[in-house]
Amino acid sequence: MMFGATPQIEEWPCGGHYPFMQEIISRWSETAPYWEKHRAIIREMFAPVTQALIEAAQITSRSSVLDVATGPGEPALTIAEFVGTEGKVLGIDAVPGMVEAARREAQRRELHSATFAVAHADLLPAEASSFDAVVSRFGVMFFPTPVRSLREMLRVLKPGGKIALAVWHFAEKNPFHYTLSRVVERYVDSQSPAADASDAFRFAEPGKLRAVLSEAGAAAVSERLLQFSIRASVSVEEFWTLRSEMSENLRTKLTKVPRERRGELTREAIEALRAYSGDGGMSLPAEVLIVSGSRPS
């Protein structure tokens, strides 16, 4: 399979969105070391989402798969195990630190069918009709121009190939988010993001991403509400560390809390999280939308 050369950042066709993209890159670059540090737990927590994407994109052994906004390599690495040595997986991310982390893990686990490249979702380093399936887990909500990115993802799909995207349902349905944000909001003023801002909940409303995928030209577009449990085999204190490090939003807010109040906030946050901790670790009910479609034949 030919993937072609990785475009340079200066070549990315963001137009007016270029400064916005630079901001996204710098935000996610700071986050990359934490996602690498917590990779095993993140993988465990979102395994049901990966499974739902594999099903929605109809991935089988031998499939060639593109994972867009792979972060430190998920779901690309899980899919590489699934497709085996006869399949192929390319994971791309705009942030070099994420891609380096993904490569390290692929090497460590000897997953030779997985390769990774630094690339923007608007300009994928692959020829048209290269892949049987394209997936993206918690990525599309951050793209500056989602329709353009989805068109590009459809371009590299083979005719009839499947695309499957995972985005968060409403924050209020996800204690993974609201348990801590409700505590932190008592300490720091926070404003709701603008309607179409690059944010985890940009496509939380059912139907919104489905409409964008149809606009991009996908056929047979559908949406499924995935209800599952986020499980993490860690103590409540470890879970607090993970959450406060992996979320850029939370990290930024915590820096605004006066030093003398941070201990109190931490105690409150851990107390709030305790409702979801049990013998096997943490377990939180969660809701994600899986939006899928295909490239017209």
Ligand X SMILES: C[S@@+](CC[C@H](N)C(=O)[O-])C[C@H]1O[C@@H](n2cnc3c(N)ncnc32)[C@H](O)[C@@H]1O
143 is a site residue for ligand X (CB under 6 A): yes
93 is a site residue for ligand X (CB under 6 A): yes
Name the minimum Å distance from CB 255 to ligand X: 20
Which span sits near ligand X by CB under 6 A: 108-116, 138-146, 155-163, 281-289? 138-146
Name the minimum Å distance from CB 108 to ligand X: 17
295 is a site residue for ligand X (CB under 6 A): no
94 is a site residue for ligand X (CB under 6 A): yes
120 is a site residue for ligand X (CB under 6 A): yes
Name the minimum Å distance from CB 246 to ligand X: 9
Nearer to ligand X, 213 or 265 (CB): 213
Half-sphere CA count of 242, side-chain side, radius 13 A: 23
Nearer to ligand X, 79 or 95 (CB): 95
289 is a site residue for ligand X (CB under 6 A): no
- Tell me the residue length of the chain: 297
DSSP string, the chain: ----PPPPGGG---GGGHHHHHHHHHHHHHHHHHHHHTHHHHHHHTHHHHHHHHHHTT--TT-EEEEET-TTTTTHHHHHHHH-TTSEEEEEES-HHHHHHHHHHHHHTT-TTEEEEE-BTTB-SS-TT-EEEEEEES-GGG-SSHHHHHHHHHHTEEEEEEEEEEEE--GGG-HHHHHHHHHHTTTS--PPPPTTSS-TTTT-STTHHHHHHHHTT-EEEEEEEEEEEEEE-S-HHHHHHHHHHH-HHHHHHHHTS-HHHHHHHHHHHHHHHGGGEETTEEEEEEEEEEEEEE---
Out of 74, 105, 132, 223, name the contact with ligand X by CB under 6 A: 74
Sign of CA dihedral 72, 24, 163, 14: negative
Out of 137, 202, 210, 295, name the contact with ligand X by CB under 6 A: 137
Name the minimum Å distance from CB 262 to ligand X: 25
152 is a site residue for ligand X (CB under 6 A): no
160: left (phi over 0), alpha (psi -120 to 50) or beta: left
Nearer to ligand X, 52 or 121 (CB): 121
56 is a site residue for ligand X (CB under 6 A): no
Nearer to ligand X, 9 or 270 (CB): 9
Name the minimum Å distance from CB 209 to ligand X: 15
Name the minimum Å distance from CB 218 to ligand X: 18
148 is a site residue for ligand X (CB under 6 A): no
Nearer to ligand X, 145 or 187 (CB): 145
Which residues of the chain form contacts with ligand X (CB under 6 A)?
Answer: 24, 28, 42, 46, 69-71, 74, 93-95, 98, 120-121, 137-139, 142-143
